[in-house]
Amino acid sequence: MKKHAIDTLCVHGGVEPEFVTGAIMTPIFQTSTYVQESPGQAKVYDYARAGNPTRTSLEKALATLEKAEHALTYSSGLAAVQAVAQLLNCGDHVLVCDDVYGGTGRLFRRIFAKYGIEFEFIDMTNTDLVSERVRKNTKMIWAESPTNPLLKLIDLEKIGSVAKKNNITFVVDNTFASPIFQNPLELGCDIVLHSTTKYIGGHSDVIGGCVMLNCSQLYDELKFLQFAGGSVNAPWDCFLLLRSIKTLSLRMQRHHENGIILAEFMKSRKEFSEVIYPGLKSHPQFDIAQRQMRGFSGMISARLQGNFDVVQNFLKKLKLFSLAESLGGVESLVNHPETMTHASVPADHRKKIGITSDLIRFSVGIENVNDLIDDITQAFD
Ligand SMILES: Cc1ncc(COP(=O)(O)O)c(C=O)c1O
């Protein structure tokens, strides 16, 4: 399967007709356990926390998309983040990109820090800074690219070589790019993860997460952690995700096309003092975007001129863009990071990195782009 193009892989990758009936679509194996032939002799699966055929199909499909040997799926994106962080030990030091998703930062600051793991949040667009901050006990580098919500791009090849040289596990949260537009494992990363709630799910009707990797030893550790801890996704959710993956490539293409048009439109409007989109020439890491991404998705961040009241009025007046947490669905969403997705980030850190009240994050859906432009225009009026 690996030799096929990504859009073919979306339709066929990892999925085979069901072996008893030949059903072309993977059935929902809604079962918690499996009858054994004799004590300790399971046919294939013994208990659904350990494995389920619908989940196996999903894992195979996801591994194919990220060109990975292995994949594991979880009950949410944060459950996937938590699973990977559980590879760490007391006394370890982790470098994290400074505007990492608020929930990931909260998990690190409020939970894993209690277990004696130190997290240092730095601007990873500065590769030299990453090398400088590596210590003897640095065990993991944690990056998003594009980052949430400032859409900074991190040079994955360069950071990957810093990690390799220092024997550090390099983790990339690839949620914003999706496997259609970026494959971090091919750029030197060790573990890639996604919130499948977002682009991979794509219809705002399922919560899930996944981890993909090539290293069998790390996979075995993660598999054990999942079995021991129990964070798995339900068969029905696996089915929904399998169904979503069929159209992932088509959807991403449309998100990308709409994203470029809308970002250019927003840039032409004086109401916005800044528009951040990896596909705009004005993006500070535009050259990295050209090198490591095949498309730029539908995530745009922008700063609206005026005070918080102006921002609030604008958000309330939008009609097609719904004010909601989350992103990556077929319908357009808008988010105010300071008070919503990144409210849990300490206020001084938020201010320092630029998550201020004027910042708005748009998740551009697959609607007709002219209707989206009209919606923004009427909200200005
Ligand atoms: C980049 C990123 N990673 C991880 C997560 C967590 O995913 P979930 O909400 O599925 O737990 C999110 C959620 O918004 C996210 O934006």
Pick from 146, 102, 149: nearest CA to 124: 146
Pick from 353, 367, 287, 258: nearest CA to 320: 367
For residues 130 and 145, the answer to whether their CB atoms sit within 8 Å is no
Please determine, for residue 1, whether its predicted confidence score (pLDDT) is greater than 70.
no
> What is the average pLDDT score of the chain?
96
Which whole number is the average pLDDT over 112-133?
98
CATH class held by domain 6-245: alpha beta
Residue 207 CA: nearest ligand 1 atom is 10
Which whole number is the average pLDDT over 340-359?
93
Which whole number is the average pLDDT over 1-22?
88
Residue 80 CA: nearest ligand 1 atom is 11
The CB density around residue 273, as the number of other CB atoms within 10 Å, is 11
Distances from the Cα of 72 to the Cα of 216, 241, 338, angstroms: 12, 13, 32
Which whole number is the average pLDDT over 291-312?
96
Query: Distance from CA of residue 250 to its chain's centroid?
Result: 18
Please give the distance, rounded to the nearest whole angstrom, from the Cα atom of residue 197 to the centre of ligand 1: 7
d(CA 44, CA 47): 10
Tokens representing residue 38 in the block: 């004799």
- What integer pLDDT is reported at residue 14 of this predicted model? 86
pLDDT tens digit sequence for 83-119 = 999 999 999 999 999 999 999 999 999 999 999 999 9
Tokens representing residue 249 in the block: 């490539």
Query: Distance from CA of residue 281 to its chain's centroid?
Result: 24
Please give the distance, rounded to the nearest whole angstrom, from the Cα atom of residue 211 to the centre of ligand 1: 13
* Residue intervals in the chain for CATH 3.40.640.10: 6-245
For residues 209 and 196, the answer to whether their CB atoms sit within 8 Å is yes
Q: Among 34-43, 164-173, 233-242, 287-296, which is the least confidently predicted range? A: 34-43
The CB density around residue 352, as the number of other CB atoms within 10 Å, is 11
pLDDT band (50, 70, 90) for residue 359: very high
In which residue are the tokens 């030299």 written? 128
Judge if the upstream peptide bond of residue 346 is cis by omega within 30 degrees of 0: no
> Over pLDDT 90: what percentage of the chain?
97
Going by alpha carbons, the residue nearest to atom 6 of ligand 1 is: 77
Domain 249-380: homologous superfamily in CATH: Aspartate Aminotransferase, domain 1 (3.90.1150.10)
- What integer pLDDT is reported at residue 2 of this predicted model? 52
d(CA 137, CA 291): 31
Going by alpha carbons, the residue nearest to atom 8 of ligand 1 is: 77
Ramachandran class of 33: left when φ > 0, alpha when ψ lies in -120 to 50, beta otherwise = beta
pLDDT band (50, 70, 90) for residue 381: confident
For residues 140 and 92, the answer to whether their CB atoms sit within 8 Å is yes
Please determine, for residue 72, whether its predicted confidence score (pLDDT) is greater than 90.
yes
CB proximity list for 181: less than 8 A, separation 6 or greater: 252, 256, 293, 294, 295, 296, 297
Residue 196 CA: nearest ligand 1 atom is 10
Question: Exposed, middle or buried by CB within 10 Å (0-12, 13-18, 19+), for 208?
Answer: buried
Query: What is the set of active-site residues?
Result: 49, 101, 173, 198
Tokens representing residue 53 in the block: 């055929």
Pick from 173, 151, 75, 196: nearest CA to 363: 151
Going by alpha carbons, the residue nearest to atom 10 of ligand 1 is: 77
Phi, then psi, of 58 in degrees rounded to 5: -60, -45
pLDDT tens digit sequence for 230-272 = 999 999 999 999 999 999 999 999 999 999 999 999 999 999 9
d(CA 74, CA 233): 5
Sign of CA dihedral 353, 355, 360, 363: positive
* Residue intervals in the chain for CATH 3.90.1150.10: 249-380
d(CA 263, CA 7): 25
pLDDT band (50, 70, 90) for residue 380: very high
CB proximity list for 223: less than 8 A, separation 6 or greater: 72
Radius of gyration (C-alpha) of the chain in whole angstroms: 21
Please, what is the Cα angle at 6 between 4 and 9, to 5 degrees? 65
Residues in the chain, how many? 381
Q: Which of 195, 200, 341 to mutate to test the pocket of ligand 1 (most atoms within 8 A of CB)?
A: 195
Please determine, for residue 56, whether its predicted confidence score (pLDDT) is greater than 80.
yes
Beta-bridged to residue 171, according to DSSP, are 142, 191
The three-state secondary structure class of 53 is helix
pTM value is 0.97
